[in-house]
Structure 1
């Protein structure tokens, strides 16, 4: 079988290359304390898009550092008793997508919360000096600040956990049955969400991004979604004098180091020919998960649609 990474038996034992900062746990404890001290100022605005079976709302909340975060919230019409909910996260630079993409889950009795990441292609704010779209460069945003607490993906990871807690507090949602899903950046945010909000019951993730940055660099795959790593070194550390320092700081927002906090059941899809998010970086996160988990492996597929996987995710969410 052709390969772009390690053989499968090595992938199954691989535990990552990127360093974990010594104060990693204290960093995220401090971040979560900031999140919990933030008044979310939740606002629900009925959307122009409505269907006979789904009530649709633009939900807004205030995340850390004052950013207003936008979420597409769709719930089954006429069902008031507590029922399961799904929080969804999109790919890098994208947005929450169309309302119609929520309707399959709503038809099955789920409420759905699809978040626009701050500063990317949706309607959420980026409060780091501007409002609106900053689109690219989010991995390296805050990398040269005096403290690592200003890394942009710290804030985005916190947004996911804050949204999950908001969903759990909705009277129509069963707080014991809140699930998370997404692919690529959305797959990374799914893992971050379930790590920082361990009440997430089920986790369905596919080819997660934002994992094991140094491994990406060593494979010469700092391109496509990871291109800003190469750009950063070329502009700000052309002789790599700060390489260890930079990768250690990136370790704060490396999902492999968060994955061990997950308590929910996990299904993860991976394509072994993925050159955007290399398989070894995905296995680095998966292999640190200690809760119930399973892999769906696609040997001939890369960073693309994986046949039948979305059906497997639906069945996973419907299982008792």
Structure 2
């Protein structure tokens, strides 16, 4: 078959090339402590969208640095409690999406919490200097500041905070809280389960935000990663700071958070993916020490993967 990356046998051994900051663990321990010190001030507002089978709420909470984060919360009716819950994450620049696409899980007795990433296509705030959407460029937000101000640091913490809220809901079984998403959503699924290790199962689909330097090396800093090229062109055209930049990106490189995951993992990858190269995804997968399985689609890229949704549901149902 044609290759866009390494042969599969090498992918299974690949360990990534983006530098890992020496203080990486201290960085994230400090970040988690900051998150835990925040009063989330959770608020639920009944939505205008309702169904006979589920109650729908707009859920708001305060994340790190004071941003109000929005998630859609769908709670099944007439289901014995406590019941399972799944936390869902969307693709880059998107939003939590329609209420209707959460109803499949609700029909199976799951509560669903779907987060709007701060500053992207939904209604969560990005308070880093402006209110309202910033929509794109989130990988490079904070590169010219202290590492603690990287925007994706805050977004990763939002995912863990939302999972913690789910774990604390009286109707939810804390032993059956799961996470799922594709692309950026796959990345945030990994971040969520790494920073909130009580998440029992996770199903990331071709995760973004892994091994930035490998993406650069493959000349794939375009599409979802275009902002890396734009940053160098505008702010470091001679690449005099290249090592410094990739090391700082290492703080938000999910391959280095993956070993914190304790839940069971079902990950999906397409070997023809030129948006999130397979090697970058394997860099994270190969560092997961929890029980894990990989669904490999040899002929597929960054697109719908047939059967992946069904398999994810079966994975979550088989507790």
TM-score clears 0.5 = yes
Counterpart-to-counterpart distance in 2, 1:264 and 1:313: 14
Counterpart-to-counterpart distance in 1, 2:70 and 2:104: 21
RMSD: 0.6
> How do 1:287-298 and structure 2 match up within 5 A?
287-298=286-297
Counterpart-to-counterpart distance in 2, 1:86 and 1:311: 15
1:31 aligned residue = 31
1:277 aligned residue = 276
**Helix, strand or coil for the counterpart of 1:44?**
strand
Deviation digits for residues 36-68 of structure 1 (CA, Å, limit 9, x no counterpart): 000100000000000000100000000000000
After the TM superposition, list the runs of 4 or more consecutive aligned residues in structure 1 that deviate by more than 2 angstroms: none
Asked if residue 154 in structure 1 is aligned to residue 153 in structure 2, the reply is yes
2:166 aligned residue = 167
Counterpart-to-counterpart distance in 2, 1:79 and 1:63: 30
Which segments of 5 or more consecutive residues in structure 1 lack a partner in the other structure? none
1:249 aligned residue = 248
> How do 1:69-108 and structure 2 match up within 5 A?
69-79=69-79, 81-108=81-108
Deviation digits for residues 251-275 of structure 1 (CA, Å, limit 9, x no counterpart): 0000000000000000000000000
Counterpart-to-counterpart distance in 2, 1:241 and 1:305: 39
Counterpart-to-counterpart distance in 2, 1:108 and 1:204: 17
1:10 aligned residue = 10
Counterpart-to-counterpart distance in 1, 2:124 and 2:147: 22
**Helix, strand or coil for the counterpart of 1:33?**
helix
Counterpart-to-counterpart distance in 1, 2:65 and 2:59: 18
Counterpart-to-counterpart distance in 2, 1:178 and 1:162: 13
Which segments of 5 or more consecutive residues in structure 2 lack a partner in the other structure? none
> How do 1:84-233 and structure 2 match up within 5 A?
84-145=84-145, 147-233=146-232
Counterpart-to-counterpart distance in 2, 1:102 and 1:32: 29
Q: How big is the shift at 1:176?
A: 1.1
Deviation digits for residues 223-264 of structure 1 (CA, Å, limit 9, x no counterpart): 000000000000000000000000000000000000000000
Q: How big is the shift at 1:79?
A: 3.1
Q: How big is the shift at 1:77?
A: 1.3
Asked if residue 314 in structure 1 is aligned to residue 319 in structure 2, the reply is no
Counterpart-to-counterpart distance in 1, 2:97 and 2:39: 27
Q: How big is the shift at 1:80?
A: 5.7
Provide TM-score, normalisation by structure 2.
0.99
Q: How big is the shift at 1:78?
A: 3.1
**Helix, strand or coil for the counterpart of 1:57?**
strand
Asked if residue 62 in structure 1 is aligned to residue 56 in structure 2, the reply is no
Provide TM-score, normalisation by structure 1.
0.99
